[in-house]
Structure 1
Amino acid sequence: MRTYRVAVVGLGWAGRSIWLPRLRAHPAFEVVAAVDPEAVIRSAVGREAGDLQLLSGVDGLKGLSLDLAVVAVPNHLHHDVAKGLLLDGISVFLEKPVCLSSAEVDSLAAAERAGRATLLAGSAANFRADILALHDLRKELGHIRHLELSWIRARGVPSGDGWFTDRRYAGGGALVDLGWHLLDVAGPLLGDAEIDQIAGSVSADFVNDSSRGAVWRHDAGTGAGGDVEDTANAFLVTEDGTSVLVRASWASHEQRDVTTVAVHGSEGTARLRCTFGFSPNREDKAVLSLTCDGETVVLPVPEEPIGSEYDRQLNELPGLLADPASQGRAIEDARKTVRVIEGVYGSVQQRSGRRSA
């Protein structure tokens, strides 16, 4: 097995809790460097993993003969950091959201081609065992007519040192954060059908409530000043008439954090109830059912530790890096997702403009 030389760029919660330990433990990867502008963070990581080169900026990665950079910086930096690395010929595994606008998608596509490198996307929802089991039912459902996807947290507004709730740095709220995962799950179910109708609404009842912070991230609370939505609802229709209902919420009146996916087809309906992410306030287990002609059967779903989807995704990376056909795939997936997110926010702004006119 080839060993890939990797750098982790961004040592916030995702970089340190998800990617750095998994990469260091995986036999296919050798982590040679880590990048973060904060000296305190670099020092803490140095105590945990003293064999790494700890750098304050991505310019220090030049000359390290890297095969891959895992980028987990704040959202507004995704495009610029990934673009620079791609142009240097370094393949990039980029945490979601891949970028924040259609213009940024085009820019990353050009950088990928110019640098002859590969951009890979880091949304892991489709690598969950329960989601894989749901996708396996697709043929039994016949023609897909309607999807319902929701991720509702009871208390889970992330602070991320404040940038998560600041539109200038996050690009949006729960729709960009949780909704990206839900749209990823919808992608394989919709196939090549393009979404051509989008309507959406957003609200912000909880985003500035200090009691609604994501405790598993050690976020003390959000404080005041957040200007993004904590809840987003979207209704989408594809060119072939399939409808999609998406609901993403960082906080709610629910007791537990729950993710649900329902796939309604001409021959049956599949439903999955589980909890995405790392929150400890979760469903006891994933429940997957299939309903046909009035009869519902609960299907077995493999149990797995929280976060196993990231291990499974990491196992796929060497094959993707070695396959020239991987170039452009993440870009096209991101293009579809960004188009939907822009459409939802555009729908909200248009309605707001009509009210103020």
Structure 2
Amino acid sequence: MPTSTKSPSGSVPRRPTRVAVVGMGWAGRSIWLPRLSRHAAYELVAAVDPAPEARAAAAETGLAPRVLGDPDELTPETVDLVVVAVPNHLHAPVACRLLARGLAVFVEKPVCLTPAEAEQLAAAEAAGGGTLLAGSAARYRADVAALHEQAASLGRLRHIGLSWVRASGVPVGAGWFTQRALAGGGALVDLGWHLLDTALPLLGEPDFAQVAGSVSDDFVNDRARRAAWRAGDGAAARHSDVEDTARAFLVTSGGVAVSLLASWASHERYDATTIRVEGSAGVASLRCTFGFSPHREAGPELTVRRNGDVEAIALPEEPVGAEYVRQLDALPGLLADPASRGAAMAEIRAVIGAIHRCYASKPAAEERPPVPAGKSARRRGGKEPQR
């Protein structure tokens, strides 16, 4: 482990950021521990989880020198930053506990599950003196950064189209991921937060004047649709009560329209993410695949259209998951900047507010018995369902 790193100016040596990871599920063990242990800007000091089996799994990796059972064992004297990687419903409670004790905390999506939890995070950060860092790694992708650069030349922003559709990728995990009480929602919370976060640099701090959403659950309880790349996904057997697909349309107070499609499973062959930015002077379109799924598009493609002409923008090749390393590159600088305290809350409020309103606006589901294949509702003596 290195003993020092360079400051952004390259002139003043300083010690690495001492970091602990709370939550030893798939994300903690597969995303955060390996990358933090290899990153020169960090000293990984502890892994934390209350479950004995999770602590044992973390210890087996050999990456963290200490494996603890309670986040309260972490102190500002021994840790500079805590990465919170617990199940969704614990994100805000755990982060609030740490912030209230003066610890700096990084929480990836979903940072919280309700607008009320967002206010609890704001209060804990203000009272405890710690710093809340938050956001989606998707914003740190090289292709997304290139899209943002091109968007500056598109004139007045009119519409952003956001879509992340998986072929088969329901993240059942240890069972909590598809339980509304524990996850807070389905694909909208999971994939939608990433998508909205990539749009925020283009929208600023949006005030959504109109929000309409719809959800469906055609695939979420089909075992064949589970995310095979997620270790442990075969363990859960409970019936899922969240959506696998969410569709939404939002309009800012400034008149910018945002369409969103987030789907854990579909009839597509490959997982694909598409971001389309339309302006008065042109349109930029990015097609790629977010996340770790093996069902990927061949590579990212970014094009810009103006007056019928299409320009292909060259993109660098990078390995799957590179955005997480790039996010880690940025965190020490954010942590050292006094302006970071309180700065994350505007974007957190915008995203969770939009998600909350999408769920609130969806029509109440009408319960109908399933129609056997090859038989219509009319042939069964009922009315055909409205579409």
Q: TM-score range by the shorter chain?
A: over 0.9
1:274-353 aligned at under 5 Å gives the runs 274-348=288-362, 351-352=363-364
Assess, with a 3 A threshold, how the Cα gap between structure 1 residues 51 and 230 changes in structure 2: closer, same or farther: closer
In the alignment, is the contact (CA less than 8 A) between 2:250 and 2:258 conserved in 1? yes
In the alignment, is the contact (CA less than 8 A) between 1:210 and 1:221 conserved in 2? no
Assess, with a 3 A threshold, how the Cα gap between structure 1 residues 296 and 333 changes in structure 2: closer, same or farther: same
Residue aligning to 2:115:
102
In the alignment, is the contact (CA less than 8 A) between 1:211 and 1:221 conserved in 2? no
- C-alpha separation in 1, matches of 2:206 and 2:99: 29
Residue aligning to 1:40:
53
Assess, with a 3 A threshold, how the Cα gap between structure 1 residues 354 and 18 changes in structure 2: closer, same or farther: closer
Residue aligning to 1:195:
208
User: 1:203: Cα distance to partner?
Assistant: 0.2
**Which secondary structure does the structure 2 equivalent of 1:165 belong to?**
coil
Gaps of 5+ in 1: none
**Which secondary structure does the structure 2 equivalent of 1:141 belong to?**
coil
Residue aligning to 1:57:
70
- C-alpha separation in 1, matches of 2:255 and 2:114: 26
Assess, with a 3 A threshold, how the Cα gap between structure 1 residues 306 and 196 changes in structure 2: closer, same or farther: same
Number of aligned residues: 354
User: 1:61: Cα distance to partner?
Assistant: 1.8
Query: What is the identity percentage for the equivalent residue pairs of Structure 1 and Structure 2?
Result: 57
In the alignment, is the contact (CA less than 8 A) between 1:236 and 1:243 conserved in 2? yes
User: 1:270: Cα distance to partner?
Assistant: 0.3
Assess, with a 3 A threshold, how the Cα gap between structure 1 residues 150 and 124 changes in structure 2: closer, same or farther: same
- C-alpha separation in 2, matches of 1:152 and 1:131: 17
Which of 245, 252, 255 is residue 231 of structure 1 equivalent to?
Answer: 245
- C-alpha separation in 1, matches of 2:229 and 2:71: 29
Residue aligning to 1:272:
286
- Structure-2-length-normalised TM-score: 0.89
In the alignment, is the contact (CA less than 8 A) between 1:207 and 1:222 conserved in 2? no
- Structure-1-length-normalised TM-score: 0.96
Which of 219, 233, 254 is residue 206 of structure 1 equivalent to?
Answer: 219
**Which secondary structure does the structure 2 equivalent of 1:237 belong to?**
strand
- C-alpha separation in 1, matches of 2:63 and 2:81: 20
User: 1:64: Cα distance to partner?
Assistant: 5.5
Determine which structure has more spread, i.e. the larger CA radius of gyration: 2
Assess, with a 3 A threshold, how the Cα gap between structure 1 residues 14 and 122 changes in structure 2: closer, same or farther: farther
* Range 60-69 or range 229-238, more displaced: 60-69
Q: Which runs of 4+ in 1 moved over 6 A?
A: none
**Which secondary structure does the structure 2 equivalent of 1:160 belong to?**
coil
User: 1:78: Cα distance to partner?
Assistant: 0.6
User: 1:341: Cα distance to partner?
Assistant: 0.5
Residue aligning to 1:116:
129
User: 1:107: Cα distance to partner?
Assistant: 0.8
| Higher helix residue share | 1
* Range 45-54 or range 19-28, more displaced: 45-54
- C-alpha separation in 2, matches of 1:141 and 1:208: 42
Assess, with a 3 A threshold, how the Cα gap between structure 1 residues 63 and 242 changes in structure 2: closer, same or farther: closer
Which of 142, 158, 162 is residue 155 of structure 2 equivalent to?
Answer: 142
**1:29 is the counterpart of 2:42:** yes
**1:86 is the counterpart of 2:86:** no
